[in-house]
Amino acid sequence: MIRNAFSRALVAGRAGFLQLAPQSASVAGCRHMSKVAESDEQLTARYVQYFESKDIDHWWLSKHINDLAGTDAVPEPDIIKACLHACRRLNDIAMAVRFMEIVHFKCGNRVKEIYPYVLQEVGPTLKELGIPTPEELGMDKPQLALEDVYDM
């Protein structure tokens, strides 16, 4: 008898929980939408501050670069310069070259318009720090690519 009453209470509790579930999901959606959007200037200042931090280490450097790679925009030249300086402070030239590859990739279909501008703005910093571009290292072409048989 107790078992029967307990199972009925459990079924009634599940039904009540299922009716409340959609309401709580809509409240969570409203809370997510109330986040204030960050302006471009604030984003640039935040990342420049991250990269100019004197106590940045390799883990934080790669975390912030990964966060930038996850955004849907090409980083501003100020962010790129600050990141290159951080890479040089840590003596991580490979990370600097990789970051320049990420910037090249982020240009997308407009790479012929955006990437020359980025190189024009960041070029003096690259020369000052002694960091080669991926193009100077020959990384813009596949290393082991074979000639197409139809082009022979």
pLDDT tens per residue, range 116-148: 999 999 999 999 999 999 999 988 777 777 777
Q: 68 and 26 in one domain?
A: no
Structural domain count, the chain? 2
Determine the Cα–Cα distance for residues 38 and 40; give it in Å rounded to an integer.
Answer: 7
Q: 116 and 75 in one domain?
A: yes
Q: Tell me the CA end-to-end span of the chain in Å, nearest whole number.
A: 87
**Residue ranges of the alpha helices (H) in 34-149?**
40-52, 58-70, 77-89, 93-106, 111-129
pLDDT tens per residue, range 50-84: 999 999 999 999 999 999 999 888 999 999 999 99
Could you tell me which residues come within 8 angstroms of residue 113 by beta carbon, excluding any fewer than 6 positions away? 107
Q: What's the whole-number average pLDDT of the chain?
A: 83
Q: 102 and 44 in one domain?
A: yes
Q: Is residue 151 part of a domain?
A: no
pLDDT tens per residue, range 79-95: 999 999 999 999 999 99
Please give the structure tokens belonging to residue 123.
């070029």
Q: Is residue 108 part of a domain?
A: yes
DSSP three-state, residue 10:
helix
